[in-house]
Structure 1
C-alpha cells in the first residue's frame, strides 16, 4: 500500500510547489504532463488546486489590510495558474466515456468557478492598492511575483457559461437525490448547493460591471434564474428528506467574502 500511495503524494507535492511558484520552464513541463494523466491523477490535481485556492484566498484580506502587494500578486498569479491547470485537466477528459468522467468533469467546472471568483477578488484588491506595483529587486526574476495579468472580457463570458453548466449539474443531482431518497446523496446534494449558490451571486455582481461579457450563452438573467432554482431545490430537498437525514439546514445565500472557498469534494 505504501508503494502505491507514494506517486500520489509526490504528485500532489509537485502541484502545490508549482502553484507556489516554480520556474517558467518547470511550470510548462508540469502543465504538459496533465495530458498524460489517468483519472486518479487528474482527480488528485483538481483536489490539490482547489485546496491551494482555499488556502490562498484566506490570505487575501490580511494581505490587503497590510497593503502587502507582493503577497496579493503572488496569490493572484497562483489563482491564474490553478485556473489554467483545471482547464488542461478538462481538455484531458475529452473523448473519454462520459460514464467514467462525468463526476470529475463536474468537479473541474465547479472548481473553476470558485477559482475564478478568487481571481476576481485578488484583482479587486490589486486595482485598489497596487496600481504602481513593481516586484522587489530580490524577487524580480520570479514569475509568481511578476505583475499579474488583468482578467479579460472573454474570461468573464466563459465563467458565466461554466457557472450555468455547474448550476444545471447541481440541479440534476438534487432531483436525482429526491427521487432516490438515499441520505448520503441527499446530504451531498444539499451541501453542494450550499457551496455553489454564493458563487453564482458573486459572479452575477461581477459581470454587472462588465456588460460587454454578456451574450446569448452568458446571460446574467439566466444565471440569476439558475441561482433561484438551486435555492428552491435545496430548500425543497431539505424539507422533504433533509430533516430525516439529519442534514444541516440550507443557509441564507450570501455572496462569498474574503474567506476561503470550501473544497470541492
Structure 2
C-alpha cells in the first residue's frame, strides 16, 4: 500500500511494534514514544499508522469469509489502537499554527476518518461472523485477541465532526491550489479528495442507522454537502488544469469501504 515500504518497515521496527498489533501492555510505552517524537517523526508515524490500517483492512473480507474471528478481533483491536494513537498525535500538535503543523493536523484528522471507517467495518464483520464464536482457551487471556470494544455512540458523533473539519480544510486547499495555478498543489489536493470522499460516503451510511448520534455539529446533511462540494471542487480543478497538468495518479486508499451490510 505504501509507496515507501522500506521506510514503513524501518519505522515500525524502530517503534517496537508491527502493524499496530501489540497487546495492550505495550501501549503505555508506545504513547510515551509518540510524545517524544519531533514533527518529522510524527508525520512519518501518521503515515505508518494509516498504511498499516490499510493493510489490515484489505484482510477483513477474507477473514470473514473464512470465519476467522481471531483475525477479525486482532484487526478490530489494531484499528482501535491506531485511532487512539492518532488522537495522541492530534493532542500533541493542537497548538501548532505554522504551515507544517497545520498540514499535519489536517493529515491526522483525515487519517482518523479513514481509520474510523475501518473500525466500523471490522465491527460489522464481527457482528455478522462471530456471534457464536468462543475464544480458544489458549488465547482467552491474550488482549491481542480480546473481543474489540464496541464503538460508542459519541464516537460516531465525533467522527462526523472530524470528517466535516477535514473536508473543509481540503476544500480550502482546493481553492488555494486553484489560485496557485501550479500542477503540484493541484494534483496533491485532487488526490486528497479522491482519498477522503469514499470514507465520507461510508460514514454517512453508518450514521444514517444511528440518528441519535447526530446533532447540530454532527449533521448528516452537512456531511453530505461537504462530500458533494469536494467532488465538485475536484471536477473543477480537473476541468481547469487537467489538460495542462495531466491526470494525477490515483490516490493510494487504504481500502475502498464496502457498503454497510444488513
Instruction: Say yes or no: TM over 0.5.
Output: yes
- Which runs of no fewer than 5 residues in structure 1 stay unpaired? 1-6, 260-265
Q: CA deviation at 1:216?
A: 0.7
Q: CA separation in 2, counterparts of 1:258 and 1:203?
A: 11
Q: Is the 8 A contact 2:168 2:226 kept in 1?
A: yes
Q: Is the 8 A contact 1:18 1:27 kept in 2?
A: no
Q: Is the 8 A contact 2:56 2:75 kept in 1?
A: yes
Q: Is the 8 A contact 2:12 2:19 kept in 1?
A: no
TM-score (norm 1): 0.88
Q: CA separation in 2, counterparts of 1:96 and 1:185?
A: 22
In the other structure, the counterpart of 1:195 is 195
In the other structure, the counterpart of 1:263 is none
Q: How does 1:18-57 map to 2 (within 5 A)?
A: 19-57=19-57
In the other structure, the counterpart of 1:180 is 180
In the other structure, the counterpart of 2:3 is none
Q: CA separation in 2, counterparts of 1:37 and 1:147?
A: 31
Q: Is the 8 A contact 1:16 1:52 kept in 2?
A: no
Q: Is the 8 A contact 1:60 1:122 kept in 2?
A: yes
Matched positions, count: 251
Query: Deviation per CA, 1:146-198, whole angstroms, max 9, x where unpaired?
Result: 01111000000000000001100111111111110100111111111111111
Q: CA deviation at 1:234?
A: 0.5
Q: CA separation in 1, counterparts of 2:128 and 2:115?
A: 20
Q: Is the 8 A contact 1:113 1:163 kept in 2?
A: yes
Q: CA deviation at 1:256?
A: 3.2
In the other structure, the counterpart of 2:139 is 139
TM-score (norm 2): 0.89
Q: CA deviation at 1:82?
A: 0.3
Please give the root-mean-square deviation of Cα atoms over the aligned residues, in Å. 2.4
Q: CA separation in 1, counterparts of 2:249 and 2:19?
A: 35
Q: CA deviation at 1:140?
A: 2.0
